[in-house]
Amino acid sequence: MAFADLTLMQDKKNSKVLFYPYIPKVAWKAIKERLSTRWIGEGPMVKLFEKTFSKIFLQRKKCIAVGSGTDALHLAYILAGVKKNDEVITSVFTCTATNIPLLYIGAKIKFADIDPNTMNICPNSIEKLITKKTKAISIVHYGGVSCDMEKINKIAKKYKIKVIEDAAQALGGKYKDKKIGNISDFTVFSFQAIKHITTGDGGILAIKDQKLIKKAKRLRWFGIDREKKQKGIWENDIKEIGFKYQMTDLGATIGYHSLLEFKKIINHRKKIYRIYYNTLKKNKKIQCMTSKNIDEDAAWLFTIALEKKDFLQKQLRKLNIETNQVHFRNDRYTIFKKYALRSKFKVMDSLENKYLVLPIHHKITLSNAKKIADHINKIIN
C-alpha cells in the first residue's frame, strides 16, 4: 500500500490543516459555570443534550448519549442481539471503530466490498455474504454520503436481520429527504474531537424500538437502573453485564451549545463541499466521491480519487495545504486479517492508493476552498 508519508501538519498562520475542532464561544463560559455546580459527570446537561438532539434529528424519539461513538456501536450490536460466533456483515473500508466492538463480543466479521462511486458498502456484496448465521448488517455513511438504504433495508427485511447505521460522519445528512437517524433499527453518531460537533469525545445511539431505551440506559451504567437508584427505589441488584459508557455533563455542555449552532456549522461545510465539487468535477482525471444529490450529503469529508494521489498530496503540502487518507481498508490490520482470508475486494483494491481527503471545517473560508480546488486542477491537468 503506497503512502505519501507526510507527517501531521503544524497549525500555523498560513497552514490549511485537514481538521479543526469546533468549540462555540459561549461554551467557554458555560463550562466554567458547570464546573461550579454539583454535576460534572452524567447529569442534567446530558439529558438536555439528548432531548435537544432528538428534537433536531430524530423526530423527537428518545436516544442515549454515551462516551464515544464506539461505545454506541458496542451497545447497538448487543441490543441487536449479536452474540459470540454470530456473523455480522460490514464494510471493509471504514474507521476501525465500526468493527472493533464486534471483536469484544466474539462475533464473526464478514467484510463486504465497496461502491466505486461513494466508497460506501456495496449492497450487492452484502447479499452474497448472507448465511443462516448472519445476525446484522453494519453500514457506514463514509464522509457523510449516505449508503443505498433502500437496497440495504430491502435485503435486511428479506432475511430478517437488523441494520446498524454507523452515522459517525453523517450528522445532518439525509437519504431521499429523510434525516439520517430515522431509517434503520439502530443509528450511531459520534462527537469525537473533529466531527461536525464535538463533546470532547462522545456519541449518541438512536434506537427505533423505543422499548429498548431503558435497557440501553442500564447497559450504559454497569447494568444499574440509575434513575431508580437516585430515587431510592432500585432493588439493588445487577442482572445484566453493563459498561461505563456514559457521557459527562462537561462534554454535554459543549455539545448542547454546538447543537444550537449546528445550522451555521453544516451550512458552512456544505458551501465548501459544493465549491470543491463544482470546481473539481470538470477535471476528467479526478473523481469526486459524492452522492448523486450532494445537497443531502453531510459534508464531513470531501474525498477525491485519482491516479497521482501521492504526487498531488506532496504538491499541496508545499502550498501548506494538508490532505490525507483518513480511513483505511480494515483487512490490512492484523486484528481483522483472519476475517478476510481468501476474500476478494475488487473495488477496494482499485481505490486503496487513489483516494485523498480535502480539508473542510470552520477555519477554511470559501475563498480558501476555491483556491485549494484551483490548485488541484493546476497540478492535475
The span from the CA of 191 to the CA of 197, in Å, is 6
Residues 225 and 288 in one domain: no
**Is 6 domain-assigned?**
no
Note whether residue 1 is domain-resident: no
Can you tell me the mean pLDDT for 365-376?
98
In a domain, 136, yes or no: yes
Greater confidence (88 vs 7) lies with 88
Q: What is the pLDDT of residues 294-335, one digit of tens each?
A: 999 999 999 999 999 999 999 999 999 999 999 999 999 999
Q: What is the CA radius of gyration of the chain?
A: 21
pLDDT band at 342 (very low <50, low <70, confident <90, very high): confident
The verdict on residue 58 lying in a domain is yes
Task: Clarify whether residues 149 and 57 are in a common domain.
Answer: yes
State the pLDDT confidence band at 1, using cuts at 50, 70 and 90: very low
Shared domain check, 45 and 80: yes
Kindly state the cell numbers that stand for 142. 463514509
Burial class (CB in 10 A: 0-12, 13-18, 19+), 101: buried
- Do both 46 and 170 map to the same domain? yes
Q: Is the pLDDT of residue 7 over 90?
A: no
- Over residues 275-280, the mean pLDDT reads 98
Query: Residues for the chain: how many in total?
Result: 381
Predicted local distance difference test score (pLDDT) of residue 8? 80
- Mark which of 260, 290, 320 sits at the end of a domain: 260
Which pLDDT band holds residue 230 (cuts at 50, 70, 90)? confident
Based on the fold, state whether residues 211 and 252 are members of the same structural domain: yes
Q: Is the dihedral of CA 198, 200, 201, 207 positive or negative?
A: negative
Which contacts of 176-182 are long-range, i.e. CB under 8 A and separated by 24 or more positions?
Answer: 176/149, 176/150, 176/296, 177/296, 179/57, 179/58, 179/59, 180/57, 180/141, 180/146, 180/298, 181/57, 181/58, 181/206, 182/57, 182/58, 182/59, 182/61, 182/206
Q: Is the pLDDT of residue 2 over 60?
A: no
Q: Are both 164 and 227 inside the same structural domain?
A: yes
Are 191 and 336 in a shared domain?
A: no
- Same domain assignment for residues 143 and 201: yes
Cell numbers given for 44: 442534567
Euclidean distance between CA atoms 24 and 94, whole angstroms: 29
Predicted confidence band of residue 3 (pLDDT cuts 50, 70, 90)? low
pLDDT at 176: 96
* pLDDT, tens digit, 9 for 90 and up, residues 8-42: 888 777 899 999 999 999 999 999 999 999 999 99
Number of domains in the chain: 2
| Terminal-residue alpha carbon distance, the chain | 25
Q: Is residue 41 part of a domain?
A: yes
Q: Comparing C-alpha atoms, which of 70, 302, 40 is closest to residue 191?
A: 70
Q: How confident is the model at residue 5, as a pLDDT? A: 63
The answer to the question of residue 13 being in a domain is: no
pLDDT digits (tens, 9 = 90+) for 184-201: 999 999 999 999 999 999
Backbone angles phi, psi at 329, to 5 degrees: -60, 130
Residues 75 and 138 in one domain: yes
**The domain containing residue 320 runs over which residues?**
262-379
**Structural domain contains residue 16:** no
How far is the CA of 376 from the CAs of 104, 164, 265, in angstroms? 42, 36, 25
CATH number at 194 reads 3.40.640.10
Q: Give the mean pLDDT of 262-272.
A: 98
226: exposed, middle or buried (Cβ count in 10 Å: 0-12, 13-18, 19+): middle
Cα–Cα distance list, 346 to 3, 16, 102 (Å): 20, 34, 24
Mean pLDDT of 145-167: 97
Instruction: Report the mean per-residue pLDDT for the chain.
Output: 96
Over residues 156-182, the mean pLDDT reads 97
Structure confidence by residue, pLDDT tens digits, 200-225: 999 999 999 999 999 999 999 999 99
**Confidence (pLDDT) at 211:** 96
Among 370, 351, 347, 358, smallest CA distance to 306 is for 351
Residues 144 and 205 in one domain: yes
Cα(340)–Cα(89) distance, integer angstroms: 12
Whole-angstrom distance, CA of residue 143 vs CA of residue 277: 14
Same domain, 277 and 210: no
What is the domain-level CATH number for residue 305?
3.90.1150.10
Interval 261-281 mean pLDDT:
98
For residues 250 and 342, the answer to whether their CB atoms sit within 8 Å is no
> Which of 136-140, 164-168, 339-343 has the lowest average pLDDT?
339-343
Residues 271, 235 within the same domain: no
